[in-house]
Amino acid sequence: MTFDPTLILELAVLGVATGFLAGLLGIGGGMVMVPFLTYLLGKQGVSPDLAVKMAIATSMATIIFTSISSVRAHHKRGAVRWPLVKGLAPGIVLGSLIGSLGVFAFLKGSFLALFFAAFVSFSATQMFLDKKPAPTRQVPGTAGLLGAGGFIGFLSGLVGAGGGFVSVPFMTWCNVAIHNAVATSAALGFPIALANVVGYIISGQNLPNLPEYSFGYLWLPALVVIASCSVFVAPLGASAAHRLPVKQLKRVFASILYVLAAYMLYKGLSA
């Protein structure tokens, strides 16, 4: 496996792009990172099946770092609903571990690529239409939060995303104000990422044909470069969000997501 300055530059550009988009549009970088990391790992000679899995795992690992800076900003504004975080976190950890430690290791990369394509297409449609679920009820009790958290964590582990496209609609559906839902979702990104990454590392140990600089399913060069760049750039994106037409930008970005979903569909069908 070659590792040259061009690869570092490509990873840095990916980190800058995903960090800026995360700050600008309030979305995690997983939906952008996974297709590009799948492509870059393929260029390094990694098999398509393994490349998809490593891309998903590495994308999730970057959320550990980006979520910390995001949560600090939201917490300073008093926007995080910490009781909700406390209620959802146990289910999130359990669902994440079931997904990343068990199911993820047994599923083929081709299936994960197809599942990712479907998930991104759905998310892009929601973003393009700018649909907001009508608030119809209150936050459920302990059992309801445990189940919701489990679903969010499990789904996030399969697609390498922070769960915002599930947790934000769920919370707004439960009459949580949208700015609180976004802030609380950012806070949930940390336990989602941490639990899933533990599972990816354990389930990926002793796999044959792992590329150099791997730690389980994690590809460490990408993790270091992308996380460093995205953490630095995300505040610039958040600042730009106050000056740019975000609704129109979301529709443009949704169109890009359809292209990325099509690429992952192609990888899944050809793997």
Three-state SS string over 96-164 comes to HHHHHHHHHHHCCHHHHHHHHHHHHHHHHHHHHHCCCCCCCCCCCCHHHHHHHHHHHHHHHHHHCCCCH
Indicate the DSSP class of residue 1. -
The pLDDT, as a whole number, for residue 26 is 61
pTM of the model: 0.82
Contact call for residues 167 and 151 (beta carbons, < 8 A)? no
The pLDDT, as a whole number, for residue 251 is 78
Report the C-alpha gap between 127 and 19 in whole angstroms: 18
Q: What are phi and psi of 219, to 5 degrees?
A: -105, 100
CA distances from 48 to 74, 110, 146, 229, 264 (A): 38, 8, 35, 26, 11
Report the C-alpha gap between 81 and 29 in whole angstroms: 23
The DSSP element (H or E) to which 214 belongs, if any, is: strand 214-215
Sign of the Cα torsion 184, 17, 194, 122 reads positive
Report the C-alpha gap between 87 and 69 in whole angstroms: 22
Contact call for residues 34 and 252 (beta carbons, < 8 A)? no
The tens-digit pLDDT sequence of the chain (271 residues) is: 555 788 899 999 999 888 887 767 666 667 788 899 999 999 888 998 899 999 999 998 988 887 777 777 778 778 889 999 999 999 999 999 998 887 887 888 888 889 888 888 887 887 777 766 565 667 888 889 999 999 888 888 887 777 776 787 788 778 887 778 878 888 888 898 899 999 999 988 888 888 888 999 999 999 999 989 988 887 777 677 667 776 777 777 778 888 888 988 888 888 6
DSSP, collapsed to helix, strand or coil, labels residue 235 as helix
* Nearest CA-CA partner of 10 in 39, 31, 30, 46: 39
* Nearest CA-CA partner of 50 in 217, 267, 257: 217
For 232, residues 6+ apart whose C-beta sits below 8 A from its C-beta are 19
Report the C-alpha gap between 225 and 193 in whole angstroms: 17
The pLDDT, as a whole number, for residue 105 is 79
